[in-house]
Amino acid sequence: MQPPSDGLFVVGDVHGCLYTFAEMLKHWNTEREVLVQVGDLISGGAHSPEVVAFARQVVRQYPERAVFLLGNHEQRAIEYFERQVPNEWLLSDGNDVIASYARRGFSLAGDVEWFRSLPLFWETNAVFVSHAGIGATEDPYNRHNPSGVVWNRGPVQNIGKLQIIGHVPVEEPSYSRTEHCWRIDTNARRGKKLSALRLDGEGNVLEIISLPVNARDRVQPGQ
């Protein structure tokens, strides 16, 4: 848990959009803010291997200032490697991700080991960040729980601090007063936008940033 004096820069689901993500991080104040990315680095865009390599580089460069959370697409990749049987991820985006790793000489097995180390949430006294939010469940931190912080697609509970989540796409970053929750997945996976929130140490949103997905991040035929 970071001290409340630190600002916060929370980035939504990246989904293989390397150039868009790199452009977004130009808005991050590395000296005064903690970067928290809500998960789903892979699947959808043209550069899943490169996005993960970039994220790991950011963590090495800013070990006390950069946090990447586990998303459901990373969890699906973990499950595929554990069981070696087709799952929903493999049948949707997984085959493309595996092919891109092989074609470009990256090690997906190595990245899966890193995925296993990713935390499920990050919090301060004012803010709780996770991939999918705390749903109606007594076991929100079970990574297999459909109502937990990796998979929840329903309403989130008002936990008395601000939740910031991705996972369920929205047209624009949106705030629910009832849930006390910001949703910031603006569908980079489908070539729409990547969004982020800048907050002060007390959890007040100072700025909303949304960038259209860079054309170089869109999957082209034959990629």
The answer to whether position 128 is within a domain reads: no
pLDDT exceeds cutoff 60 at 6: yes
Residue 144 in domain: no
Distance, in Å, from the CA atom of 8 to the CA atom of 10, rounded to the nearest integer, reads 6
In a domain, 150, yes or no: no
Domain containing residue 197: 7-121+168-217
**Across the strands, what pairs with 93?**
none
Chain segment 47-81, per-residue pLDDT in tens: 999 999 999 999 999 999 999 999 999 999 999 98
* pLDDT surpasses 80 at 213: yes
Residue 203 is assigned to a structural domain of this protein:
yes
- Is residue 140 in some structural domain? no
State the SS3 of 44-89.
CCCCHHHHHHHHHHHHHHCCCCEEECCCHHHHHHHHHHHHCCCCHH
pLDDT band for 5, please (50, 70, 90 cuts).
low
Separation of alpha carbons 191 and 45, rounded Å: 7
Does the structure show a pLDDT above 90 at 18? yes
How high is the pLDDT of residue 3? Answer: 46
Q: Would you say residue 138 lies in a domain?
A: no
Question: Which of 113, 4, 81, 47 lies closest to 89 in space, CA to CA?
Answer: 81
Residue 85: per-residue pLDDT: 74
CB atoms within 10 A of CB 44: 25
Distances (CA, A) of 9 to 41, 111, 157, 204: 16, 24, 23, 12
213, 45 contact by CB (below 8 A):
yes
Within-domain flag for 104: yes
**Count: domains in the chain:** 1
Considering the domain boundaries, does residue 145 fall inside one?
Answer: no
pTM: 0.95
Q: Are 116 and 78 spatial neighbours (Cβ–Cβ below 8 Å)?
A: yes
Q: Specify the CATH number for the domain of residue 44.
A: 3.60.21.10
